[in-house]
Amino acid sequence: MKSRENTQPMWTKEFILLALSNFFMFTSFYMLLPTLPIFVVKVLKGSVDQVGLIIGFFTTAQIFSRPLAGRWLDTIGRKKIFLWSRLLFLIIMIGYLGMKGLLLFFILRFLHGFSFGMATTASGTMVADLIPNERRAEGLGYYSGFASMAMVVGPTLGLWAIHLSNFSMMFILCSTLAALSVLLGSLIQYNEPTKNASTNTTRSFSWRQFIEPNAVFISIISMLLLALYGGIVSFISLYAQDLGMATIAGYFFSVYSLSILVARPITGKIADKYGASYVIYPGMIGCILGIILLSQAHSMIAFLLAGLLIGLGFGAIQPSLHAKVIQSVPSERRGAATATYFISADLGIASGAFVLGFIANAIGYRGMFLSTTLLILLGLLLYWVYSRMNARKTEEAPSQEASAG
């Protein structure tokens, strides 16, 4: 059991401003998820295939931006990249107003994905610096909870805007929220960490400038779990339609999102006090049980209970894995570490949706969802290996110090 002395406050003005800034940016982002496909088809006269390409452009740009963001955060400065990326996000959001052609829309979506990847990597790095070490998992749980709230509010707000008014009003509302994100972010008083001399003097190209090796193992575990998430967001609606329960998908996501929102701060406290393994192992077991239930669901109750178990599982796992990544590196490498972790998340969601689509075509949605339990089992095995490796290092460190003395 870890000792816990909360000598430093977590709910500082800077932490609250950063969390609120992130909430407004994520709300504007989530407003676009259900509405942009409608905008492309009805206003820009695009095809369903082009809707898929637009999503792909955004995701590709997001993945491409993260290693650059990680490097620039550790060299140029975190507050600068944080504000520049949010300002670019705002400018592009305003650019959607009066949009007429698909080509320009594709370009804007690529730039939007780039700015969003930069902005989320920057805020994910800064919040790790603002949270006291002894409350890191708890703090990341609360922080990511603001994004979970945006996931609940954003899609409903976006659909409400286009139904009550039009797309222009929706884009104005999105731009207003993005502007609030910039305004609140500019008020944050942030002290840049002391840079290691090698951080700025390295001139020759090396992948280590962009990817943090110490974060790779945990990031792979996260990627496996988020491949499952990619399958859920891509196919849960189609699965529900196949079962004759088309409307249940929306309720599933509501239960899932609220479960994450509840789980994150509670499990974060447990992880900080007793260790991450006390929430990661139960979280993975919860995900497995939820997926098995989802794959065999025949009723609304089964669907919602599956959403509850999967949400609680993800809510327990993700902040603790993120905290592990941050703890594995010195402060001047947190930008690269956060970028590495978020790249794995993007790749997991994208590859999960792609590969699981082929599996669904081959064996159906039930079989596809059931097969994703293998991803979680592999993640569980890798986390056990990681924990054993860390325990061995901890045991060896005192003996090496004793022999040196």
| pLDDT one-digit tens code per residue, 251-293 | 888 888 889 888 988 888 898 888 889 999 999 999 999 999 9
Does residue 399 lie in a domain region? yes
In this structure, are 226 and 147 located in the same domain? no
Using CA atoms, how far apart are residues 128 and 342, in angstroms rounded to an integer? Answer: 14
The CATH number assigned to the domain holding 269 equals 1.20.1250.20
Q: Residue 138: what are its φ and ψ, rounded to 5°?
A: -60, -45
Q: Based on the structure, what is the number of domains in the chain?
A: 2
Taking the model in full, what pTM does it have? 0.76
194 part of a folded domain: no
Q: How does pLDDT run across 383-398, given as a tens digit for each residue?
A: 999 988 887 766 555 4
Residues 184 and 249 occupy one common structural domain: no
Same domain, 263 and 393: yes
Q: Cβ of 397: how many Cβ atoms within 10 Å?
A: 10
86 exposed, middle or buried (CB, 10 Å; 0-12, 13-18, 19+)?
buried
Domain stop point among 140, 155, 189: 189
Outline where 43-97 has alpha helix (H): 48-75, 78-95
Q: Which two tokens stand for residue 44?
A: 């820009």
The reply to whether 197 falls in a domain is: no
Do residues 229 and 305 share a domain?
yes
Amino acid at 146: F
Q: Which of 155, 189, 223 is the last residue of a domain?
A: 189
For residue 323, give Cα distances in angstroms to 71, 177, 341, 376: 20, 28, 11, 19
Residue 4 belongs to some domain of the structure: no
172 and 293 both lie in a single domain: no
Q: If you average pLDDT over every residue of the chain, what do you get?
A: 85
Confidence of residue 148 (pLDDT cuts 50, 70, 90): confident
Q: Which of the listed residues 189, 221, 237 is the one where a domain comes to its end?
A: 189
Q: State yes or no: pLDDT of 372 exceeds 90.
A: yes
Per residue in 124-146, pLDDT (tens digit) is 889 888 888 888 888 888 888 89
**Domain enclosing residue 372, as ranges:** 211-405
Q: Give the separation between CA 292 and CA 150, rounded to whole angstroms.
A: 28
pLDDT at 194 (0 to 100): 67
Share of the chain above pLDDT 90, in %: 35
Name the one residue in this structure whose structure tokens are 């941050």.
326
Residue 152: per-residue pLDDT:
79
Q: What is the mean pLDDT of residues 29-42?
A: 83
45: DSSP letter:
-
Same domain, 267 and 160: no
pLDDT > 50? residue 188: yes
**Above 80 in pLDDT, residue 195?**
no
